[in-house]
Amino acid sequence: CRTGHGFFGEYYSHMRVPEDVGCPCGEEYQTRNHIIRDCDLHTAARRKLTDSLIDMTDKTIFGTNEGIIALSEFIKESGAFEKTERLEPEPQET
């Protein structure tokens, strides 16, 4: 998340990964900022950030110890930036 690499639309688009660039919430283009600041799917988890930080600027979130700790808690609670697609198990021989 901090470096801009991950399982989200903005990264897929930049790296030309053949994945959907939209957000599951319905936003057409899923950016890191959308996930952290706006996505309705992560409203509850976002409190980890808003309750811990003076402001929600990139400089605070990504450039301070408090920001990194709060961001880490947000990611753990929300599951944001994780690859959620599950591969189908391979059929077992009988």
Cα separation, 25 vs 40, in Å, equals: 7
Task: Write out pLDDT tens, residues 26-58.
Answer: 999 999 999 999 999 999 999 989 999 989 999
Cα separation, 52 vs 85, in Å, equals: 31
Average pLDDT over residues 60-73: 95
Average pLDDT over residues 55-74: 95
Q: Which residues contact 71 (CB under 8 A, 6 or more apart)?
A: 1, 2, 36, 49, 61, 62
Cα separation, 15 vs 9, in Å, equals: 10
Res 83: pLDDT: 81
Tokens representing residue 3 in the block? 């470096």
Average pLDDT over residues 4-22: 93
